């Protein structure tokens, strides 16, 4: 797979490659918008989300913290890693003007194998689709989640994406939650920074209506 490095900054890419080399993070993979952007090249992304499906409480916090402190001249918010939690939001960097937000989080069991490209462990697009629909169904009205779902609908059916979401999160989300949230796409507030699309003629107003159309077609086929 050829990755779209134009979607991330050189600083983010350097930090990401370094994190992927750490043995203590071998069970983590890149998820979210940055993983999807690297695979599809549809928009720029500015942060790193590394998730693991290891048993809760098994993250080697002391070892991870020591590694981060040793390698990265700038390492902020590592103090949160002294107690067990579902995740940790950190700031890492080599230079003061290129610090990157890095999240290390537990997640449900992955249902697809990771994709390895250029020594980067990436969540499968289908895994990302399931996770994006969970976020949307749970009330996330973030434009970037809807934007990414619309991108994925060019390759996968809404029915498949919903099935993956329900398979991955069988106890925390229902089909109707997802459909209602997608139908309520008009409630999404345009973010101040907008979406840094790398494709011509990519407009939020158009994508918003297209998402509604996908839901309409899905409901008519049931």
The gap between the terminal CA atoms of the chain, to the nearest Å, is: 35
Phi–psi pair at 154, nearest 5 degrees: -75, -15
| Cα atoms in the Cβ-side hemisphere of radius 13 Å centred on 77 | 13
Confidence band, pLDDT 50/70/90 cuts, at residue 194: confident
The pLDDT value recorded for residue 122 is 99
Higher pLDDT, 4 or 190: 4
Inform me whether the pLDDT recorded for 34 exceeds 60.
yes
Q: How far apart are CA 159 and CA 164, in angstroms?
A: 9
pLDDT tens digits, 117-144: 999 999 999 999 999 999 999 998 999 9
In 3D space, the residue among 48, 43, 30, 19 whose CA is nearest the CA of residue 152 turns out to be 43
Confidence band, pLDDT 50/70/90 cuts, at residue 201: confident
Q: Using alpha carbons only, what angle is made at residue 41 by residues 113 and 96, rounded to the nearest 5 degrees?
A: 95
């Amino acid at each position: 797979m050829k990755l779209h490095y134009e979607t991330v900054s050189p600083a983010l890419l350097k930090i990401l490659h370094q994190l992927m080399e750490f043995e203590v993070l071998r069970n983590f993979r890149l998820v979210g918008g940055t993983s999807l952007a690297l695979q599809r090249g549809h928009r720029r992304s500015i942060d790193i989300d590394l998730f693991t499906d290891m048993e809760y409480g098994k993250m080697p916090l002391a070892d991870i913290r020591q590694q981060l402190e040793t390698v990265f001249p700038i390492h902020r918010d590592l103090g949160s890693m002294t107690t067990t939690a579902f995740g940790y939001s950190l700031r890492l960097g080599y230079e003061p003007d290129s610090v990157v937000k890095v999240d290390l989080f537990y997640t449900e069991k992955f249902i697809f194998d990771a994709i390895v490209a250029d020594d980067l462990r990436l969540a499968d697009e289908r895994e990302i689709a399931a996770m994006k629909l969970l976020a949307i169904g749970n009330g996330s009205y973030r434009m970037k989640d809807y934007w990414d779902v619309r991108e994925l609908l060019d390759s996968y059916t809404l029915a498949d994406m919903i099935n993956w979401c329900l398979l991955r999160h069988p106890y925390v989300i229902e089909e109707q939650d997802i459909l209602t949230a997608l139908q309520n796409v008009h409630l999404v507030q345009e973010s101040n920074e907008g979406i840094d699309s790398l494709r011509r003629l990519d407009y939020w107003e158009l994508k918003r209506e297209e998402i509604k159309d996908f839901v309409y077609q899905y409901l008519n086929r049931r």
